[in-house]
Structure 1
Amino acid sequence: MSDTVKLLSLAVAVPEHVITQAEAAAASARLFAGRFADFRHLAGVFDNAGISKRHAARPLSWFDEPHGWPDRMNAYAEVAGSLFVEAATKALRRADLKAGDVDCVVTISSTGFTTPSLDAQLAGKMGFRPDIERVPVFGLGCAAGVSGFGIAVRQAKARAGKIVLFVTIELCTLAFRLDELTRPNIIATALFGDGAAACVLRNGGDGIAAVESTGEHLFPDTLDIMGWKIDDTGFGIVLAQSLPPFAERELGPALDGILARNGLSRRDIDRFVCHPGGTRVLAAMESALALSPGSLDHERSVLSDYGNMSSPTVLFVLERVIQAGLPDRAAMIAMGPGFSASCVTLRRTA
């Protein structure tokens, strides 16, 4: 297995500001109840989301005022840059490597952007080599913790010994909108948080786990399930009520196809490591995967502690699974805009 891509390390990071679910509920009631007649029917989502707190790029008071693109993207550049450095530095240190050892950096984010990209802006601060390959990716949403990991794996496979740094950063709270009097916007304020994760991958050698397979499935005619609408104010959430039943109905067959293309089946998987999109989505995934209710315990724990951070969230779950003891074979799964499903299988190496 000398030519197999290994996961060497994993690290996570979150912004300093913490918003409890009670604080989020109270702020949303103050900001929306008097202007949105359906708010009282939706307020229960704060109690039912399975979230106790989340971290945010800005303090709660920042969201009391309207913000446009400049405010949002300035905040994104500042906080995303800080989280990139923190998560990447921790991951490299845990792999006993330096930034100068990195041959390629894959950076994932769908909640903001900078040009030049974050990896270029931070190259000097990190200490990347001038010949580093940069792969910034936008638009994969919640699936990107797994699909982006797969992109990084394929980069690592390019040559023996290649070191790839994978960084995924999402500042979902910067998309909260005062002007959007809609069900999806209220749900977003109850569900989403901010965070980042970084992994170090190498083609060959030792590591925490060997990457056995990667795969994706794009569902036809599903563009309206999840995504962004973009206007003068910023991003606006697109989130269909049909997502949980869709996941329950469609995830199993899609996953079976991905695994079969890699010579595997669900029976071969000892532990599914899932992106916790929300409590209803987790229940739908347990049903789709024929798991006992409550089986996705680390997923619910991460959701409670951090909310849905979009793409990094599944790596927060993987970190807890590794700490608890990685099984012989695990499968990371996430769904996101497209609508798509992604899967990566990992084999324990020690």
Structure 2
Amino acid sequence: MTRIVAVHGVLPAYRYPQGEITRMVGSACRLPRGDRDVLERVHASSGVTARHLALPLDRYADLDGFGARNDAFVRAALELGRDAVQGALDQAGLTAADVDLVVSTSVTGIAAPSLEARLAARLGLRADVKRVPVFGLGCVAGAAGLARLHDYLLGHPEETALLLSVELCSLTLQRADASMQNLVAGALFGDGAAAAVAVGSRRDARDAQGGRDGRNGPEIVATRSHLFPGTEDLLGWTIGDTGFHIMLGADLPDLVQRQLGPVVHGFLADHEVKAGDVTAWVCHPGGPKVLDAVRDAVDLPARALELTWRSLAEVGNLSSASVLHILRDTLALRPPPPGSPGLLLAMGPGFCVELVLLRW
């Protein structure tokens, strides 16, 4: 089995209470009084109390055009990405030269060369490291990235793989868009990065003989991807001269409530696991309505998503990095009993869900 030996999350230094961000968005978007009232209600009901941002709050009013936004993305993403990777490697007791595969993901900026290529020399990655930069999976990419590490390591059990997620959602703020979708996105999304290190079964067995601490991390037992047909317009971006514009369907929570349950229960049943057996639900914080829909669809106990709600409140929705932050929090704050099953899940554009069955 693949073992996750380290998960490390990082956040930008600039942290603001939700109310300050609300005022900045209203001012930067030049909203009239009526629209500001709507903005304030949306922000107040988001479940978010504070967020970390890539830039100081007063810099956002000056961001103009896709180029300026993307330049800011690359600068901040390289700093956060470096810290996330180095922290995960240190936690795993490994060096960058140990890494055989890097999967990097972001949906909030574009870089070519990609982020992991620009970081390779700074971190000390080998010249022959295999690289897979991913764009377009959105919030699901943290879970999908772990699943793809697992796929690779099944075929290369003696190797080590790294997942890097950097999401700077604040840099996608659209000042001229007073749509409800943009207001909701501006209420929920924050900035952050995370990295995870995983090893194949042979590498894991070798490390076990040396007593590496990463043996306390969970194994990946199985994964499943599910794409819901005819839902392409529910979530994602449209791209214009000023950058990324949010696509966020109002009926998304209804779809989750109606269709997620059979996918989750079917996946668990295929591995002889019942929902009641799962000792940790590591769920992406899509927002209050989506989280309520997940709870209802899977029939979860009241406290099952407590760490997810906590993460949403403290840092907002970090897109693909969020589920990795919540996995880190699960390991640090509420480690499940050894040998028990866990389920990591996230949803994203497509509309799709990615499920990762864990064993602690």
TM-score interval w.r.t. the shorter chain?
over 0.9
How far off its partner does 1:42 sit? Answer: 4.1
1:111 match: 108
1:180 is the counterpart of 2:177 = yes
Structure-2 residue corresponding to 1:343: 355
- Say whether residues 1:296 and 2:305 are aligned partners: yes
Matches within 5 A, 1:31-180: 31-32=28-29, 34-35=31-32, 37-180=34-177
The alignment covers a number of residue pairs equal to 345
| Residue aligning to 1:27 | 24
Q: Is 2:322 the counterpart of 1:325?
A: no
Partners of 2:277 and 2:303 lie apart in 1 by 20
Structure 2's unaligned 5+ residue stretches are 209-214
TM-score, with normalisation over the residues of structure 2?
0.92
Distance in 1 (alpha carbons) for counterparts of 2:63 and 2:72 = 14
SS in 1 for 2:155: coil
TM-score normalised by structure 1 residue count: 0.94
Q: CA deviation at 1:221?
A: 0.2
Shift of 1:163: 0.4
Instruction: Determine which structure has the larger helix proportion and give its number.
Output: 2
Q: Deviations over 1:74-114 (max 9, x none)?
A: 11111111111101001001111000010011101111111
Q: Do the aligned partners of 1:329 and 1:345 also contact (CA within 8 Å) in 2? A: yes
Conserved? CA contact 1:66–1:178, under 8 Å: no
- Structure 2 equivalent of residue 239 of structure 1: 248
Task: Give yes or no for the alignment of 1:273 onto 2:255.
Answer: no
> Which AA in structure 2 matches 1:8?
V
SS of 2:77's equivalent in the other structure is helix
Q: Is the 8 A contact 2:30 2:175 kept in 1?
A: no
Structure 1 position 322, deviation (Å): 0.9
Q: Judging changes above 3 Å, is the alpha-carbon distance between structure 1 residues 79 and 170 closer, same or farther for their aligned structure 2 residues?
A: same
- Between 1:259-268 and 1:238-247, the stretch displaced more is 259-268
CA distance, structure 2, for counterparts of residue 253 and residue 43 of structure 1: 36
Cα RMSD, aligned residues only: 1.6
Give matches, 1:306-321, under 5 Å. 306-321=315-330
Q: Matched residues in 2 for 1:164 and 1:346: separation?
A: 17
Report if the CA contact (8 A) 2:31-2:178 is conserved: no
| 1:207-218 equivalence runs, <5 A | 207=215, 208-218=217-227
Identical positions, percent? 36
What residue in structure 1 maps to residue 192 of structure 2?
A: 195
Instruction: Tell me if structure 1 keeps the 8 A contact 2:26–2:39.
Output: no
Cα distance in 2 between the residues matched to 1:276 and 1:185:
18
Equivalent position amino acid for 1:201 in 2: A
Further displaced range: 251-260 or 329-338? 251-260
Change (3 A) 1:70 1:31: closer
Report if aligned partners of 2:232, 2:351 keep a CA contact under 8 Å in 1. Answer: yes
After TM superposition, give the deviation of residue 152 of structure 1 in Å: 1.4
Q: For 1:216, give the aligned amino acid.
A: S
Inter-partner Cα distance in structure 2 for 1:269 and 1:134: 33
User: Which segments of 5 or more consecutive residues in structure 1 lack a partner in the other structure?
Assistant: none
**Deviation for aligned residue 1:284:** 1.3
